[in-house]
Amino acid sequence: YGQNSPYHGMPEGHLPVRSYLAAPVISRSGEVLGGLFFGHPEVGIFSERAERIVSAIAVQAGIAIDKAKLYRAAQGEIARRQQIESRLREGEQTLERRVAERTAQWIAESQERQRAEGNFRLLVEGVVDYAIYMLDPTGIITSWNAGGERIKGYRSDEVVGEHYSRFFTPEDRNR
């Protein structure tokens, strides 16, 4: 320290440093991460060997800091992926639950429809005073009851799968 104000020498309470050795701590990318600083009250205390040792320690410190940053980044990526996997599992479970619920609902609806169709079929087949038959959208006969047999004179196996126009005369069909 010089003789300048306000101290005119060593500041009060300050460690007396007359020898100084510093080495930068640098990452592999070239970024300066910090430095290692050594001071000693005796003049000329640091040798060329001490300088090589401190420089080697600074290189190792840079490597250690880089590894710590990589480790922290890897841990962050692992946590992020675990969170994504957890959300995917939750989504899969929700989807599986919805599929199971919808399948159960569909089965119940299907069973109810089969019961209703069975009851309807029994009702239609029991009617003998009226011809009751069902057509698909193209006019093909898909069902035929006993009343149809009695009134029209055709058995079910003769008309089911045929077009309903067979009940009309050629003139009626042309009209």
User: Could you count the other beta carbons within 10 Å of the beta carbon of residue 145?
Assistant: 21
Sequence-distant (6+) residues with CB within 8 A of 165 are 139, 173
User: Is pLDDT of 14 > 90?
Assistant: no
Name the more confident of 143 and 102: 102
Region 142-153 average pLDDT? 88
Query: Which phi and psi angles does 155 have, rounded to 5°?
Result: -75, 160
List pLDDT tens digits, range 91-124: 999 999 999 999 999 999 999 999 998 888 788 7
Residue 46 bridge partners (DSSP): none
- φ, ψ for residue 37, nearest 5 deg: -125, 130
Q: What is the pLDDT of residues 124-138, one digit of tens each?
A: 778 888 888 889 999
Residue 99 has, within 13 A of its CA and on its CB side, a CA count of 6
What pLDDT, in 10s, does the model give residues 61-95?
A: 999 999 999 999 999 999 999 999 999 999 999 99
Q: From CA 40, how far away is CA 129, in angstroms rounded?
A: 122
Mean of the per-residue pLDDT values of the chain: 91
* Cβ count near 62 (within 10 Å): 20
- Kindly report whether the global pTM for this prediction surpasses the value 0.95: no
**pLDDT > 60? residue 1:** no
CA atoms of 118 and 166, how far apart (whole Å): 28
Strand partners, 140: 163
**Opening angle at CA 7, ends 14 and 15, nearest 5:** 10
Provide mean pLDDT across the span 20-28: 96
Tokens of 105: 């609902």
CB 36 within 8 A of CB 58: yes
More confident residue, 124 or 25: 25
